[in-house]
Amino acid sequence: MNVIRFSDLCASGQVRGKRVFIRADLNVPQDDHGAITEDTRIRASVPCIQMALDAGAAVMVTSHLGRPTEGAFKPEDSLMPVAKRLGELLGREVPLVANWVNSDDSASVTPIQVASGQLVMLENCRVNVGEKKNTPELARKLAALCDIFVNDAFGTAHRAEGTTYGIAQFAPIACAGPLLSAEIDAIQKALAHPKRPLAAIVAGSKVSTKLTILKTLADKVDQLIVGGGIANTFMLAAGLKIGKSLAEPDLVLEAKAVIAAMKARGAEVPIHTDVVCAKTFAADTPATVKKATEVADDDLILDIGPETAAKLAEQLKAAGTIVWNGPVGVFEFAAFENGTKAIAHAIANSSAFSIAGGGDTLAAIAKYGIEKQVGYISTGGGAFLEVLEGKTLPAFEILTKRSAG
C-alpha cells in the first residue's frame, strides 16, 4: 500500500512554513463532569503533533468527541479538556478555536491564525454541518485551510467523513501520520505478507457480528481459533451439546461451512475438548471443568478448559504470525479468566509477529501486562474489524489514490 508519509515530508524539509491540518483521534472517555478518565489516544497523538512542530509547520489539529449534533454545539461537545491535557503533555498552551468553518453556503473560508512553530486545536469536527455525510462543500472549505493534510486517526479510517476523506480529496498534499503509517505497516505484515503459520483468534458473543471476518480468514489462515459465544456455535456445528450457553443455532450451517473451507485447505478450526462451566452467570458462581462431551443441559460455558488452553497455547507458540481479536472466555470473572490468560501469555512468549485489536482484547492485554510483548496493538476498534473482513478502508483508499498523483 503506497501512501505519502508525513515523516518523509518532514525529513525532506517540505513541511517548514506550511499550514498542516492533522486529523487525530482524540475521542477519549470522560466522566459525568467531563473529566478525562483515560488519555491513551491523546498520548498516542503527541508524536505526530510534535513532529509537525519540530519541522516548523503552522499546526492545526482536530478530532471528534462523543456524538454531537451537527450545527448544534453544546458545552459537553467541547474539546477543551482534550486541549488542556494535550497542553500538559506537550508542555505548552494549546489554544482552542471555535467556529472554524464558515456556516454559510459560500465557498470562502476565514484563514485560521497560526504561525509557524505554533499549534491550535480546532473544536469538535463533528459539529460542522456536512461532516458525517462528507459534503463536497465542507470538504473544499476544510482543504482550503491547509497546505498539507495529515490523517493520523486509524480509529476513524473506516469512515468516509469530511475530516477523514473529503479534505484528503482536495488538500494540496494528503498523507499518513506516524500512527496511521504504523497501522498500515502492521496490517500489511500480518495479513498481506504473513510469516506462516498464520493463526487468528476471533472471539466474541455472536457469530453473526463476525461472520464476514470468519469467512474471510478461513481463506487465509492456518489456524482459526474461535472463543466466547462464537465457539459455542462451532461446538454445535461439531455435534456437541452446549447446555444453555450463549449461541446462535441458526448459524450452525455457516459455522460448518467455515470448518469445511479450512479443512479443504489443510487448515483447521480447533474445537474445544474441555470447557469451564457454571450454572449461573455471576462472578462468584462455582466453576467446574468438564470434557466438551459432558456438558449438562443446565450448564453455561464461560471459558475454555485447561486441556484446550494448553493445546491452543502450543499452536500459538509455533505460529509465525498471530492476529488476536477477542478474549476466549469471561475474563472479567476470576474463575473464568484462565483461558484468556493462557492465550495472552502464549502470545507474549511466542516469537511470532502479533497484532491485536478490539476493545475487550486491549483490556485483556492490559490486565495481563503483555503490552510490550505484542508486536502491534491496534487502537482502531471498528476499523480493525473491517480490515479483518477484507475491506479497503476509505482513509487508505483516498491516501493511496492521492499518492499516485
Return the active site residues: 41, 206, 359, 382
- Give the neighbor-by-neighbor strand order of the sheet with 274-278: 288-291, 274-278, 300-304
Residue of 325, 318, 320 whose CA lies nearest to 194: 320
Q: How far is CA 205 from CA 227, 228, 247, 278, 319, in A?
A: 8, 6, 8, 17, 25
Residue of 318, 381, 378, 311 whose CA lies nearest to 347: 318
SS3 state of residue 149: strand
Per DSSP, 250 falls in state G
Q: Which three cell numbers stand for residue 121?
A: 486545536
Sign, Cα dihedral of 177, 179, 180, 182: positive
Q: Where are the beta strands (DSSP E) in 350-390?
A: 353-356, 376-377
Contact indicator for 202, 214 with CB cutoff of 8 Å: yes
Contact indicator for 27, 66 with CB cutoff of 8 Å: yes
Task: Report the distance separating Cα 236 and Cα 202, nearest Å.
Answer: 17
SS3 state of residue 279: coil
Residue of 252, 251, 210 whose CA lies nearest to 227: 210
Contact indicator for 323, 355 with CB cutoff of 8 Å: yes
Radius of gyration of the chain (CA): 23
